[in-house]
Structure 1
């Protein structure tokens, strides 16, 4: 049930990030979950290095030029954003159904960090926020559940391949989140300190309006990388029968 993820990650493990040949796969049996989980997690770490020979950029750090979140009461914009930590996430609880073409798994991340130049204006819970400058959000343990819809596509060679069609996700902070946003309220320290204290006390409520939009951007990036890898091996070679 883990063969899709195994395929992605075992290529990195055997051949290295810069020398992956075409149509190479080291599969596990479908019922050998221990083998598949080990391969997946090794690959997740190596995926962070990127694969230049396949045109795949590193996912750690993940670079996002613009992240623009517009909600009814508040606007939050990030420019020149960097996200770190995905390569250290642990893949858990994987389910792959090839009949319905559904893939589900959890990512348990020890820490994620988002940093960049921010602009914020509007109301968040009981706070009115204004400011722009350098901002950073740092999580502790963070859990992301992802559901992928897959599809079969025909390659230029006439063979059938898997690809990610769309995804949805939910996430939960399992430990407190730290916020550091310079120049809130144009540098008025008392107001800035009060806002940071409130955010640290109510971190789940503060993150809730923004986290889906943030992870949407990140998983579009990740899905693009996975699809590039999926083009290297036909479905028939993804499984031990």
Structure 2
């Protein structure tokens, strides 16, 4: 009996610690998109700071060990990428389609910046490129749309909770993107200046061609953080049910 009591006490304390660490969410009906949007906006800063108690890593900044692109003649590796800007994102739309069981989320980051160490070879659109150094990509405005199928399931505390099953995303980058790369063409200034002019004049084409592989790993981290956040707490604690 004592062992059972101790186990129950431990699990209760553990659940209390987890719940106390979670950002407080204003309860909304899942059919009230306006309330959901406002409620989600209130916790953006706390959510992106990370919630280690539920295994949700920091999203401000996002750390990505390696991003690789092998597409359209370009071989590009970015290591130790640090992405900032998500912590000030604005929620544009948050809808729970309870019939189709899909969460639709749209948010905007203005601006968002990636820094890391790159190695590039091959062709970028129509020009040859080679280099190995530091990279900075500055995006004035990035709009992200996520569709996430879900189910209502039991969490580890035996409570009904939202479990996201997968995700699809699209993005819009229509304002401006600026690229800065050191040590292009082994430090040849003339070739480097030409490439920088080309990249920064053709940022839309570059974004359209290579945006998805650049965003793939950051978006996986965002989805995982949202999934863990929702699964960690009872549906009745975050929604009017």
> How far apart, CA to CA, are the structure 2 residues paired with 1:55 and 1:207?
32
Structure with higher Rg: it is 2
- Aligned residue number for residue 165 of structure 1: 165
Relative to 1, partners in 2 of residues 1:239 and 1:134: Cα closer, same or farther, differing over 3 Å? same
Normalising by structure 1, we get a TM-score of 0.84
Aligned to 1:196: 196
For 2:14, the equivalent position in structure 1 comes to: none
**CA distance in structure 2 between the aligned counterparts of 1:135 and 1:18, rounded to whole angstroms:** 39
Partners of 2:35 and 2:97 lie apart in 1 by 18
1:179 deviates by 0.4
Secondary structure of 1:166's aligned partner:
coil
Match of 1:139 in 2: 139
The residue that corresponds to 2:21 in the other structure is 20
Counting matched residue pairs gives 224
Given that residues 169 and 212 in structure 1 are in contact (C-alpha distance below 8 angstroms), is that contact kept between their aligned partners in structure 2? no
Q: Post-superposition shift, 1:109?
A: 1.3
| Residue 228 (structure 1) aligns with | 228
The 10-residue stretch of structure 1 (189-198 or 98-107) with the greater mean CA deviation from structure 2: 98-107
Secondary structure of the residue aligned to 1:113 is strand
Q: Which is worse superposed, 223-232 or 104-113?
A: 223-232
Does the C-alpha gap of structure 1 residues 31 and 154 become closer, same or farther in structure 2, counting only changes over 3 Å? Answer: closer
TM-score by length of 2: 0.84
Distance, in Å, in 2 between the alignment partners of 1:48 and 1:158 is 27
- The RMSD of aligned alpha carbons is 2.3
1:234 offset after TM fit, Å?
2.9
CA 1:201–1:25: 2 relative to 1, 3 Å:
closer
Q: CA–CA distance in 2 between the matches of 1:18 and 1:157?
A: 11
**Who is 2:5 aligned against?**
none
Spell out, residue by residue over 1:211-237, the C-alpha distance to the aligned partner (whole angstroms, 9 max, x if none): 112222112111221222122223344
Report if the CA contact (8 A) 2:36-2:94 is conserved. Answer: no
Secondary structure at the residue paired with 1:211? Answer: helix
Q: Shift in Å at residue 21 of structure 1?
A: 6.0
**1:42 correspondence with 2:42:** yes
1:105 corresponds in structure 2 to 105
Residue matched to 2:62: 62
Alpha-carbon separation, structure 1, partners of 2:52 and 2:225:
11
Q: Residues of 2 paired with 1:70 and 1:151: CA distance?
A: 35
Unaligned runs of 5+ in 2: 1-17
Check conservation: 1:90, 1:108, Cα contact below 8 A: yes
Contact 1:25–1:233, Cα closer than 8 Å, also in 2: no
| Aligned partner of residue 227 in structure 2, secondary structure | helix
User: In the alignment, what sits opposite 1:206?
Assistant: 206
SS, match of residue 183 in structure 1: coil
Runs of 4+ that moved beyond 6 A? none
